[in-house]
Structure 1
Amino acid sequence: MALTPNREVFITCAVTGSGDTTGRSDKVPVTPQQIAESSIAAAKAGAAIAHIHVRDPETGKGSRDPALYREVVERIRDSGVDMVLNLTAGMGGDLVLGSTDAPFPVDPSGTDMVGATERLVHIAELRPEICTLDCGTMNFGEGDYVMTNTPAMLKEMGRQIQALGVRPEIEIFDTGHLLLAKWLKAQGVIDDPVMVQLCMGIPWGAPDDINTLKAIVDNLPDGWTFSAFSIGRNQLPYAALAMLAGGNIRVGLEDNIWLDKGVLATNEALVERAASVVTTLGGRLLGPEEVRRKLSLEKRW
C-alpha cells in the first residue's frame, strides 16, 4: 500500500477501554449511562465511530457482561444521535500466569479465558456494525499477563463474526499480527473491504516510531482501510501521523487520559482536537453514513 496522505478521514473514539485508568481520571466513563453519554458527546464532536468496552459499575474493572453492553447500545440508539457502533470482542482472552516459578495454576483473579462463542455473545445479540478481532497474542505490562489469541481461536471467531454479518476491525498490535490478518483473509473468514486498526506504542508490541508505522503500512494489501493510534502523550501527534500515512484516526480515553500537560481529557475534547488536526491539514471529516458506504456496513437501527 502506498503511503500517501488521506484527505477524507474518519475518527474512531475509543470511549473507555478496560484498563486501570479509572483511578487516575474521573473523566473515564464507567456506568452504561456514562459510557453512552460519552459516546454521544464524542459523536457530536466529530467521531463517526464509537469503539465500546463496558465496565463493572461497582468496581470499574473491564467486563464482558452482555447486559451492560445492551444498556449502552440501547441508550445510544434511543438518543437519535447517529454513529457507527464498534463493540470490542477482545475480552475473554486474558491469561495471567501464577508466578515465574510456578506459572500453573494460573492467577484466577486476572485470568478470563473463554471460548469463541462466549466471547461473541454480545455481538450475536446486539449486531453492531463492527466488532474488534485482536489479531495475535502478546505480553502486556511487566507482570505475567498475556493477551491470548491463537490462530485457531481467531479463525473460529472470524467465521462466527462473518456469519453474523458484522464487519471485523482487525487489531494489529505487532508486525507479525499483520501476517495473521493476511492468513485469515486467505482462509476466507474475513470479507472485503478489510478494516485494520494499527495499535502502536503498546509495550511489548510495535513501537510508535515513524519507521515501524511505515513498515506496517507498506505491507498492507491494496484496498485495505486502516486507522492508527498511539497511547499516552503520543496519541494526539499520531492523529496527524495516521492521516499523513494514508489512514484514519483513533483517539479516546481507552488509550490516553490527557489533553495537555496536567489537563485531564474528556472523549469529546480529544475528538475535537483530532478533528482540528484533520481540517488544519486540509482534510475532511467523514460522517457515519459516509463510513458505512466506505466500509460496506449495514446500519442496524
Structure 2
Amino acid sequence: MARHPKTIITCAVTGAIHTPTMSDALPYTYEQITEQAIAAAEAGASILHLHARDPETGAPSINPDDFAPFLARIKQATDAVVNISTGGSLTASIQDRIAPAKQFKPEMCSMNMGSLNFSFHGLAARYKEWKFDWEKAYIEGSEGNIFRNTFKDIKEAAETLAPDQIKFEHEIYDVGHLYNLKAMADAGHFKAPIFLQFVMGIMGGIGADVENLVFMKRTADKLFGADYRWSVLAAGAVQIPMAVTASQMGGHVRVGLEDSLFISRGELAESNAAQVSKVRRIIEDLGNTVATPDDARELLGLKGGDKVNF
C-alpha cells in the first residue's frame, strides 16, 4: 500500500494585519506570542511563522529587540522550525524588514516574490471602538500602500540571508510571482527544493478558490518540475477549506491568527492551537500524516535547529 502523504502544518501566530481590537485571542505581548507558539507546536504545527509586536500597544514591529524575548523561549520549549517574517511592514525598506532574520539566522524566513497593492482597509468599517489609538489609521492607511518587493529588493534579501543557509518560504500572491521566482532561481539566487506558499484571498492578490489553486499548481509544475514543495495560505473564512483542499492535492497547509481570526464562520478562534488542532483532525481523518518538525526539515532541506542564532 502507498504511504499516506506527510503534510506540514505551518502556524502563523500573529502577523501584521489584524489588530488587538479584532480579537482578544490575538497575541501581542512577548508572553502571549511565546505561549501561543508553543501551544500551536504541541497541537501539531511543525513550522512556526513569527512576527513581532510592540508589547505595550500591540502594533506590528520589525525591531529585532521585539523578537529576542520570545525566540529563545520557543526554541527551548519545542523542536518546531522557526520561520521569521521579512514582511511585517508595508512601508519599511527591505534592509529594515530583513533585519530580524539577519540577526537571528533562523532555519526559514518568508520571501515575498513581487510588489502588490496589499490592502485591508475595508476592515476598519467593522469596528466602532478601538483598544489603541493607532489601529484605525493603520488599517485605513493600507488603501494607499504598495507592498514593495522589486527584483532588486528580492536580490538584496537573498544575497544577505542565503549565506546563512536560511530556506525561504516564497510567498506567491499571484501567478506572475511564480515567474519572478523562476527568473531569480535561474539567476542562482535560490536553490531547490524551493518552498512555495500560495497566498490566496488577500485584496490585491489572487482570489481564494480551487480553480485558481489548480492553475497556480499547474504553473509551478511547468516552471519548477519536481524541484519544489508547496503550501496554501488562505485568508479569512476560506482558511480551513482551502488548507484541506491543498492537503488532498499533495500540498502543505498554513493556518494561524495572522491569516484568519476565526475557527468557523462567525466564530472567533480561541487560539492559534485551536486552528492547528482543527486542520490536523480533518487532514488526518482524510488519510494524511502530519509531518513532525524533523519531517519538515527533511522535506524542505533545512539546516537544522542547532544552526540558528537564538
Task: Give the structure 1 partner of residue 150 of structure 2.
Answer: 150
Task: Give the structure 2 partner of residue 86 of structure 1.
Answer: 83
Question: How much has 1:115 moved relative to structure 2?
Answer: 4.0
| TM-score normalised according to structure 1 size | 0.88
Equivalent AA in structure 1 for residue 253 of structure 2? I
Secondary structure (helix, strand or coil) at the match of 2:67 reads: helix
Mapped contact 1:257–1:264 kept (Cα < 8 A): yes
Question: How much has 1:260 moved relative to structure 2?
Answer: 2.3
- 1:113-162, Cα deviation, whole Å (9 max, x unpaired): 3243x332221221110000011111122521111111111111112221
- 1:186-233, Cα deviation, whole Å (9 max, x unpaired): 111111111110000111211111111111100112221000021111
Structure with the largest fraction of helix: 2
Q: How does 1:221-232 map to 2 (within 5 A)?
A: 221-222=224-225, 223-232=227-236
Report the Cα distance in structure 1 between the residues aligned to 2:244 and 2:265, rounded to whole angstroms. Answer: 19
Secondary structure (helix, strand or coil) at the match of 2:259 reads: coil
Secondary structure (helix, strand or coil) at the match of 1:140 reads: coil
Q: How does 1:40-51 map to 2 (within 5 A)?
A: 40-51=38-49
Equivalent AA in structure 2 for residue 284 of structure 1? T
- 1:12-39, Cα deviation, whole Å (9 max, x unpaired): 0000001133211010100122111111
Report the Cα distance in structure 2 between the residues aligned to 1:152 and 1:240, rounded to whole angstroms. Answer: 35
Where structure 1 has 5 or more consecutive residues not aligned to the other structure, the ranges are: 1-5, 95-111
Mapped contact 2:81–2:305 kept (Cα < 8 A): no
Report the Cα distance in structure 2 between the residues aligned to 1:16 and 1:113, rounded to whole angstroms. Answer: 19
Task: Give the structure 2 partner of residue 122 of structure 1.
Answer: 100
Report the Cα distance in structure 2 between the residues aligned to 1:235 and 1:205, rounded to whole angstroms. Answer: 15
Mapped contact 2:209–2:242 kept (Cα < 8 A): no
Task: Give the structure 2 partner of residue 104 of structure 1.
Answer: none
Where structure 2 has 5 or more consecutive residues not aligned to the other structure, the ranges are: 122-142
1:298 aligns with 2:276: no
Secondary structure (helix, strand or coil) at the match of 2:111 reads: strand
Equivalent AA in structure 2 for residue 206 of structure 1? I
What percentage of aligned pairs have identical amino acids? 34
Task: Give the structure 2 partner of residue 131 of structure 1.
Answer: 109
Report the Cα distance in structure 2 between the residues aligned to 1:115 and 1:174, rounded to whole angstroms. Answer: 20
| TM-score normalised according to structure 2 size | 0.86
Report the Cα distance in structure 1 between the residues aligned to 2:245 and 2:190, rounded to whole angstroms. Answer: 27
Q: How does 1:163-202 map to 2 (within 5 A)?
A: 163-202=163-202
Aligned length: 277
Question: How much has 1:54 moved relative to structure 2?
Answer: 0.6
Secondary structure (helix, strand or coil) at the match of 1:36 reads: helix
Report the Cα distance in structure 1 between the residues aligned to 2:298 and 2:179, rounded to whole angstroms. Answer: 27
Report the Cα distance in structure 2 between the residues aligned to 1:137 and 1:86, rounded to whole angstroms. Answer: 21
Report the Cα distance in structure 1 between the residues aligned to 2:241 and 2:19, rounded to whole angstroms. Answer: 21
Report the Cα distance in structure 1 between the residues aligned to 2:298 and 2:18, rounded to whole angstroms. Answer: 36
Choose from 66, 69, 72 the match for 2:67.
Answer: 69
Task: Give the structure 2 partner of residue 205 of structure 1.
Answer: 205
Task: Give the structure 2 partner of residue 253 of structure 1.
Answer: 257
Task: Give the structure 2 partner of residue 97 of structure 1.
Answer: none
Q: What is the CA RMSD across the aligned residues, in angstroms? A: 1.5
Secondary structure (helix, strand or coil) at the match of 1:219 reads: helix
Mapped contact 1:133–1:169 kept (Cα < 8 A): yes
Mapped contact 2:116–2:146 kept (Cα < 8 A): yes
Mapped contact 2:256–2:272 kept (Cα < 8 A): yes
The alpha-carbon distance between structure 1 residues 140 and 124, as it changes in their structure 2 partners (threshold 3 A), is: closer
Report the Cα distance in structure 2 between the residues aligned to 1:140 and 1:119, rounded to whole angstroms. Answer: 16
- 1:173-196, Cα deviation, whole Å (9 max, x unpaired): 111111111111011111111111
Q: Which runs of 4+ in 1 moved over 3 A?
A: none
Task: Give the structure 2 partner of residue 20 of structure 1.
Answer: 18
Report the Cα distance in structure 2 between the residues aligned to 1:262 and 1:237, rounded to whole angstroms. Answer: 15
Secondary structure (helix, strand or coil) at the match of 1:197 reads: strand
Choose from 290, 293, 298 the match for 1:288.
Answer: 293
